[in-house]
Amino acid sequence: MSVVPLVRWETRRAAPIVVDGTTITPEARLLMIQWKQVGFVWNTPAAVTVSTSTTSERIPIVDVTRIALWSLSAIALGLWLIALALQSAMKGTKPEQESPQLGA
């Protein structure tokens, strides 16, 4: 029986691509959560390394989709907390009961 790590966070490099003497190597970040037979994997682009015979440059990739997803999640959580607080405040204040008028 092999031991499987529960959470793994690593940067992986794909196979380099060579075009006209320039080597391009993509990199991605991997988050893997695994428990017994169930798991979750999230890959996100990290960078591209461009190498020539004289220079090497690592160009980071901004993952706009990931930023948008986390932003929308934060907004949804904030709105939910506000709604929860308003609902709690409304339960705390009971409307004043009117006393019945006897004889008009």
Predicted confidence (pLDDT) per residue in 8-60, tens digit: 999 999 999 999 999 999 999 999 999 888 899 989 899 999 999 899 999 99
Q: What is the pTM of this model?
A: 0.60
Q: How far apart are CA 39 and CA 8, in angstroms?
A: 11
Find the mean pLDDT for residues 76-104: 78
What is the band of 89 on the pLDDT scale with cuts at 50, 70, 90? confident
Q: Is pLDDT at 3 greater than 70 in this prediction?
A: no
pLDDT over 80 (residue 4): no
pLDDT at residue 88, as a whole number: 86
Residues 6+ apart with CB under 8 A from 10: 29, 30
pLDDT for 31? 93
- What number of other Cβ atoms are within 10 A of residue 23's Cβ? 14
Read off the pLDDT band of 98 (50, 70, 90): low
